[in-house]
Each structure stands twice: as C-alpha cells, then as structure tokens.
Amino acid sequence: MAKDTDDPAENAKQGLGLLWKAAKKVAKDVQKDVAKGAVTKTIEDAGREIARAATNVAEKVGQEIEKIRPKEPEYAHPDDERMKPPYDQKDPSEDAPPKKPKGPTPSDPGFRIAIDDKDK
C-alpha cells in the first residue's frame, strides 16, 4: 500500500508505480488467456453465433416472402396456352384471317367509271 505523505511528487510517483504494476499484471493475464486459446475460442464462438443468427434471419425472411408470393391461378394447367413460355406459344397472327389487299390486284382490278370504248 502507498505511504501517506503530503508530498505531491511522491504521491504521483507511487500512483504511477501502482498503475504500472497493475498494467503488467493485466498483460500477463491476457497473455495466459491467449496462450490457453480462450480468446481464440471466444472469437470462434462469436462467429458461430453470428452465422446462426444470420441463418435464422434468412429463413424468417424467406418464410415471409413465401407468404406474400402470388399463387398459381386456378386455370393454370400445363396444356394451357397462356402458361407456356412465349417461344412455345402459337403466334396470334396465325389464327387471324388473311388481310385483304388494299387497292386493285391483277385478279380484281376494281371498277372504273366512264370508260371510253373508243380507246380499246
């Protein structure tokens, strides 16, 4: 224990000495813990706990997403044309009737008004 004196310099010297002594003791204890592997084990345990917590969070988020995911419609059957990928669906233009040509064609020249028979 420190001596009781009124000299501030002596008190400061004794206080710093006690702090130094305490720091050396703590350093030895930490060194022993590191040598034993206690710090390494603690870090490994913490890593395992973090991984376990992250897994639990990911599973919970997945469950919540599954709850709000839209379900398959009732009409969804494998043979339903609407459920096939676009490259397997029939082209809608195949079912449409052929387009009529605009203007005269060789087989249907249309009609003319006021044809002069003299020109023939």
For residue 9, the Cα-to-chain-centroid distance in whole angstroms is 63
Asked whether the CA dihedral 31, 35, 36, 41 is positive or negative, the reply is positive
Query: Is there a domain that residue 76 lies in?
Result: yes
Q: Would 75 be classed as within a structural domain?
A: yes
**Residue 73: exposure state from Cβ atoms within 10 A (0-12, 13-18, ≥19):** exposed
**pLDDT per residue of the chain (120 residues) written in tens, 0 to 9:** 555 668 888 888 898 889 989 988 988 888 887 777 777 788 888 999 999 999 999 999 999 998 888 877 776 676 777 777 777 777 776 777 777 878 788 888 777 676 666 655
Domain holding 67, by residue range, is 36-86
CA–CA separation, 115 vs 120, rounded Å? 9
Kindly report the pTM of this predicted structure.
0.34
Do the domain assignments include residue 81? yes
Whether 110 is in a domain gets the answer no
The terminus-to-terminus CA distance of the chain in angstroms comes to: 140
DSSP class of residue 116 equals -
Domain tally, the chain: 1
CA gap 65, 58 in Å, rounded: 11
In a domain, 94, yes or no: no
